[in-house]
Amino acid sequence: MANAHRGEIEARLDGKVFRLCLTLGALADLEAAFGVEDMVALATRFESGQLSARDCQRIIGAGLRGAGYEISDDAVGAMQADGGAAGFIDIVARLLRTTFGADEHEGPRASAEEAIGPFPGTT
């Protein structure tokens, strides 16, 4: 069972329930994949709401690998989600919301800094 306090969610892919978690290593991989320098830039990119299918594939793949599954982004691209494309979007939204700290009852945070807090050396 997924533990939201640890940044985990559950998702059904190919008819099976998987746990996903964007660990620090998974976030570092996403920084490299998206060509950003830090987690604030990564969160800001995600807040834009403009994610391609390839972006979703990378995020879901990183979440699966963060939870311990050995799966490539290409393998994720061949999977099916309950609800089709909308199901993939839901998985990504829940994973990002859990990772970056937006409470489902509060709604989304106003900025990346509010979502993940200030970093040392920033004001």
pLDDT per residue over 15-58, tens digit each? 999 999 999 999 999 999 999 999 999 998 888 888 999 999 99
> What is the value of pTM for the model shown?
0.80
Residue 120 has pLDDT above 90, yes or no: no
What is the C-alpha to C-alpha distance for residues 79 and 120, in angstroms, rounded to an integer?
40
Residue 64 lies in a domain: yes
Domain that holds residue 90: 14-116
Residue 52 lies in a domain: yes
Mean pLDDT, the chain, rounded, equals 85
What are φ and ψ of residue 42, in 5° steps?
Answer: -65, -50
Residue 108 has pLDDT above 50, yes or no: no
Q: What is the mean pLDDT of residues 8-17?
A: 96
Q: What is the mean pLDDT of residues 59-87?
A: 96
Predicted local confidence at residue 107, as pLDDT: 43
Instruction: Spell out the residues 6+ positions from residue 79 whose beta carbon is closer than 8 angstroms to its own.
Output: 13, 14
What is the C-alpha to C-alpha distance for residues 103 and 123, in angstroms, rounded to an integer?
24
Residue 31 lies in a domain: yes
The tokens describing 14, both together, are 């190919």
Predicted local confidence at residue 12, as pLDDT: 97
Residue 101 lies in a domain: yes
Report the percent of the chain where pLDDT is more than 70: 82
Number of domains making up the chain: 1
Residue 85 lies in a domain: yes
Predicted local confidence at residue 55, as pLDDT: 95
Helix (H) or strand (E) holding 120: none
Instruction: Spell out the residues 6+ positions from residue 44 whose beta carbon is closer than 8 angstroms to its own.
Output: 111, 112
Residue 18 lies in a domain: yes
pLDDT level of residue 102 (50, 70, 90 thresholds): low
Residue 61 lies in a domain: yes
What are φ and ψ of residue 88, in 5° steps?
Answer: -65, -40
Residue 9 lies in a domain: no
